[in-house]
Every structure is written in C-alpha cells, then in structure tokens.
Amino acid sequence: MQQPLSGQTGPSTQDSAIMQIAVDRREDIAIVTVSGRLSSAMADQFQDRLMAELDDNPKALVVDFADLRFITSSGLRTLIVAAKRGSTDGYRVHLCGMAQAIHEVFEVSGLLRIFVIHPSLDAAMATMERDQTA
C-alpha cells in the first residue's frame, strides 16, 4: 500500500514544487517513489522515510525517480547513507527512472558506481526477480 508524504520545498513562489514520497512493498522489496523537488528543506523528511523503510529489513531498496525534477546534495547524502547501510545489512540500493539531468548529477558526482541503475521501475523489478531465481 502506498503512503504519500508531502511538504513544501520553500517559499511559496511560482517556481516552488511539492516533494511527494510514496512507499510500496513487493515481496520484501521496499520501493520508495520520489517526485517533485528533493530540496535541502525536504531532505530530512526523505531521510526519515528511507530509514524507516530500512528499519523493516527489506531484501532490497528501490528508489524510483521517474517524476523527480531536482535533487540537492542533501538528497544525495541520504542515498549514500542508505547505500552504506545496505552494504552492512546485505542489500544494494537500486535507483530507477532518472531523467537525464538527474542522471548527470549522479555521474558528475561519481555516485553511479555505488548504486544499481535501471531505466525504469519495471526493469529494476525484473532484474531483481531474475537475480533471485538464478
């Protein structure tokens, strides 16, 4: 079941957007969908939500960025914390659906190597299904 969480990213201006987070579980895989703008102001909410999902000991974590338009270094830091926790707890963090601009942020920062990258949520799920049956 998806549980949305939203909040304002900053002062109310025409450029402001709302970050939304929805969480789903599929066969012990935590799927966190983030849309809008993952700003510094919203990074703590994002981190709290991710860590709550990790506390339930999923087999894997998938973060779907299909509708994400912007991410700050604070959002990147949260993902790095999740990846480090995953390496300790025995799972990888999968990222999917990144727009080109978001992908470039990960590429320029050198972070692509610590995550498993998929073009879409369907591709991420198919890869994990295939890996579990291999």
Domain of 50, in residue numbers: 19-116
**Looking at the domain assignment, is residue 128 inside a domain?**
no
Q: What is the mean pLDDT of the chain?
A: 86
Is 35 a residue whose pLDDT tops 60? yes
Q: 38 in a domain, yes or no? A: yes
- The answer to whether 2 and 31 are in contact (CB under 8 A) is no
* pLDDT single digits (tens) 68-96: 999 999 999 999 999 999 999 988 999 99
* pTM passes above 0.75: yes
Structural domain includes residue 94: yes
User: The CATH number of the domain where 102 resides is what?
Assistant: 3.30.750.24
- In this predicted structure, the answer to whether residue 1 has a pLDDT above a threshold of 90 is no
In a domain, 10, yes or no: no
Burial of 90 per CB tally in 10 Å (0-12, 13-18, 19+): exposed
Rounded to whole angstroms, how far apart are CA atoms 109 and 62? 20
